[in-house]
Chain A
Amino acid sequence: MSVGDIRVAINSDQDIVLARQRGRVMAAELGFSTGDATLIAAAISELARNIISYARNGEITLKMVNGLNRQGISVIATDDGPGIPDIRQALRDGFSTSGSLGLGLPGVRRLMDEFEITSQPGRGTIVAVKKWKQ
């Protein structure tokens, strides 16, 4: 089955909710289980939250992806905010979640199957994650 790309502009806290709802619907359309759809929605929520917290504006793109004998969902969070100076530190557990800083990136990495991050200080950040259907 085929599902078109969805782009959600992230400019306010309302958009965080919108993005994760769109993601959940798309995951369900692609045949993900409710459990997996929740994990995908949680990852989208954290990625959208990072955009609001660090860059203020950005975009989440949801896409269907095809691998060898499998189908999945790709979530790409893009912003042109300040970027992450030390990605390795941002990916370390404990750097995030509890305080108000909360990058949540290690958590997102655990929720999804594939995780890629590109960030340039002063230019912005792209986080691209994928989850494959079981």
Chain B
Amino acid sequence: MEVPILKQGEVLIATFQAALSDADLNQLRMGLVQQVVKFRSRAVIVDVTAMDVMDSFASRTLREIALMIRLRGAETVIVGIQPEVAFAMVQLGLTLEGVATALDLEEGLAYLNEKFKTTN
């Protein structure tokens, strides 16, 4: 199941579906980095609201996406981690350290707007 990537001005928004295989995640990683380059995007929001489980692979891939996109000079925000998913992640020792997170899409966009304001 491919992850749709939506272009909204200078921001790319990728919305996860419930069940993503490792192959889907790898494809998303490549797709996002390529599109950030193509559209000269300043930020990426990854919306994981629908995701059923964030296991070690998914969490590592998200972290890699954020680091790769930072190297391109853009920001990444992960939004919509559900409370029970967050609980399971912490038990598994998956902390997404160094990656920006926000409650939902709206908060994610607000966070980026603030960030853009201060850098402009």
Which chain A residues have a beta carbon within 8 Å of chain B's beta carbons? 13-14, 16-17, 20-21, 24, 34-35, 38-39, 41-42, 45-46, 49, 93, 96-98, 100, 102, 104, 106-108, 110-111
Contacts and interface: CB of A to CB of B under 8 A. Distances in A.
Contacts of A42: 53-55, 85, 88-89, 91-92
Tell me the interface secondary structure of chain B in the complex.
helix
Interface string B79-93: 000111101110111
Tell me the interface secondary structure of chain A in the complex.
helix
Contacts of B88: 38-39, 41-42, 111
A21 B23 CA distance: 17
Interface of B: 19-23, 52-57, 60, 82-85, 87-89, 91-94
Given A14-B23, A17-B19, A45-B53, 17 more contacts: A17-B20, A17-B21, A21-B19, A24-B52, A35-B84, A38-B82, A39-B84, A39-B88, A42-B53, A42-B85, A42-B91, A49-B56, A96-B56, A98-B60, A102-B56, A102-B57, A108-B92
Contacts, number: 77
Nearest to A39: B88
B84 A46 contact: no
Contact of B93 (A17, A35, A97): A97
A35 B87 CA distance: 9
